[in-house]
Amino acid sequence: MLIIRALSYYSGVSGSQGLPGDRNAATGDHQSTGSSNAPRKTVSDTHLSDKSEAWLPEKSGEKGASGPNQPSSEGSELIPDWWLNAIKNLSDSDDTAVMIKALTSVDPLKDIGHAGTSMRFLTAYYCTQPGRTVMTGSPRMKQRPVGPLVDALRILGADIQYIENEGFPPLEINGSADDNIECLSSEIIAEKKAVIFKQKGKDDKQRSEDGNHYDGSGHKGIGHYRPSKNMKGGAVSIDGSISSQFISALLMIGPVLEKGIELHLTGDIVSEAYIRMTLQLMKSCGAVFSREGNVIRVEPGGYGVAEFTVESDWSAASYWYAMALLEDHSRVTLRHLDEDSLQGDSELTNIFHKLGVVSDFTDRGFVLTKLVNLHPGRFEHDFTNTPDLVQAMAVALCLAKIPFRFTGTQTLRIKETDRIAALQQELKKLGYLLESDERGSFLAWDSKHCDPAVKPVIETYHDHRMAMAFAPAALVRGEIRIADPMVVTKSYPDFWEDMETAGFKMTIESISPQ
């Protein structure tokens, strides 16, 4: 088993970090298959130096001369030229690579590995496209439910069949795009940086009258309007308490359905911030919607946008906030974060302010400063809208000896792993006993301890956030060992390099399974 060791010999934390983005930085096993014989990066000897910088992932920012806006020749072969020109600041993470490969490959078999977002979004997308598509993924992906999304898509007219187990991937999709339109999506015209669309039996003038944002040149920008043949759209209901990704997947196909979509959300809505972000991003790309309470109406008409710049990833900032919390007088600068962000995880600024970490936007970047040690008794917070912050927060608060009770955590049971169980198991190795219930509706630590393991190895369960959440433990424990460290490439390929820049010393060790 490959592990990461982090040895912390701290003399003062001050640094500048950037969230994931440089295409040159991604190395190692992008499949995150657990144990491997390939070499891996490591962490040790930690202090966040005055010159350390973190480049946060895209959703993240460009990194130097070979960032996403100026791609290197290495690692960008899957990305068509017109995407690189139309979509600025595109992430180099595994999830982005999986999405691009699926969208640009002519192979009807789409294996998205561990990428749950891609599974949900592409399932809806391929229902609107011509031809047969099979959606599959890793063994863990085949355990993650998609039944509510499939049920809703079927009501809208989709032809979807379960290949193995009812309610779970893999899926067979028989697309329903209009037979009168031929989409040559794999034919890229470099001079025009566009996808060619041809409509049978109509000349350019007639196509211009029929098409949305069509100028007769073959260029429709990023979006186009091709109403589905069988999926007419209309009203459909979905339980909002399971996954906001189901909701986003349905909303995003609304503009290309003949009747649009009227989505009725039932139950307690989780991750509301992600629904709002989806709608605002759709609006910025030309979609029209209205909302009254839990009913969202998306009008037909398609998308149309010349270019789009992707925002940096606030979720990735949580690990640097945790490091700032754990070091007195720390100072960390994060690059490429938007102060007026659509992302719900920008709530980090308010959460950590209660713990003594102050956030300031400056010309140099977004500066985190640990001013005081605040121990608010038991820290309580509802993570319904920000579930991706739970792992970093739970580990950081245990290490800071601050008891806590989190609510709104039920969706963590069906993520890349059961994140509630994973946190309980791995924090127990460090001597902390967490409590929850079967549903995962809360996660709590009431200062209960057990004997820690000797030289514990933190398992990551193919979950990128487990690896990054436990990395700051080096600042408190002196060292931390993390198995399968390259799971971070799923969302933050440069994480370990950024930690080295911040002053952590990385080493590599290979051990035999116990």
Which residues are the active-site residues?
Answer: 388
Single-letter residue type at 23: R
Q: Which DSSP string corresponds to 458-504?
A: E--TT-HHHHHHHGGGHHHHS--EEESGGGGGGT-TTHHHHHHHTTP
Q: Which DSSP string corresponds to 256-291?
A: GSTT-EEEEEESSPP-HHHHHHHHHHHHHTT--EEE
Which of helix, strand or coil describes residue 455? coil
Which of helix, strand or coil describes residue 52? strand
- Which residue in the block uniquely carries the two structure tokens 């992932």? 57
Number of H helices, E strands in the chain: 14, 25
Is the sign of the CA dihedral 431, 437, 440, 443 positive or negative? negative
How far apart are alpha carbons 444 and 442 in whole angstroms?
7
What kind and span of H or E run contains 320? helix 314-326
How far apart are alpha carbons 384 and 366 in whole angstroms?
25
Single-letter residue type at 20: P
CA angle 41, 44, 49 (to 5 degrees): 105
Number of other residues whose CB lies within 10 A of the CB of residue 9:
11
Is the sign of the CA dihedral 384, 386, 276, 347 positive or negative? positive
What kind and span of H or E run contains 185? strand 181-189
How far apart are alpha carbons 479 and 46 in whole angstroms?
9
Which of helix, strand or coil describes residue 54? strand
Cα distance between the two ends of the chain: 9
Q: Which two tokens stand for residue 350?
A: 């308010």
Please enumerate in sequence order all residues whose Cβ is within 8 A of that of 405, keeping only pairs 6 or more positions apart, or say none. 378, 379, 380, 442, 443, 444
Strand ranges in 286-423 using DSSP code E only, listed in sequence order: 289-292, 295-298, 308-309, 331-334, 357-361, 366-370, 379-382, 404-407
Q: Which two tokens stand for residue 31?
A: 């499949």
